[in-house]
Amino acid sequence: MGGKVTSVEEWLDLTPEEVAVLDMTIRLGEELKARRRQKRLSQERVAMILNTSQGRVSKLEKGQATLDQLARSLLALGGSTKEVARAIAG
């Protein structure tokens, strides 16, 4: 390497668009986690609702999924399209 890196984005050579998508997925994951906690649901219970595994729910909450998967998961837990849009917008 040898050069000075000033940010993670620069180090990973991410475009502004890629950074924006990563930010949106993280926000949706955080919103999913907040909704789960608000409803007092365990990750196991959410996994049953979403027909997936607890480990997958953990990854969803960390934003390790596509925007589509995260939005559909949030909607399945009773979130509205406005809440999804608000989370995406930050």
DSSP 33-75: HHHHHHTT--HHHHHHHHTS-HHHHHHHHTT-S-HHHHHHHHH
d(CA 50, CA 46): 6
Phi/psi zone of residue 78: left (φ > 0), alpha (ψ -120 to 50 degrees), beta? left
pLDDT digits (tens, 9 = 90+) for 52-83: 999 999 999 999 999 999 999 999 999 999 99
pLDDT digits (tens, 9 = 90+) for 18-55: 989 999 999 999 999 999 999 999 999 999 999 999 99
d(CA 78, CA 55): 21
pTM, 2 dp: 0.85
Token pair 């809440």 in the structure block, residue: 83
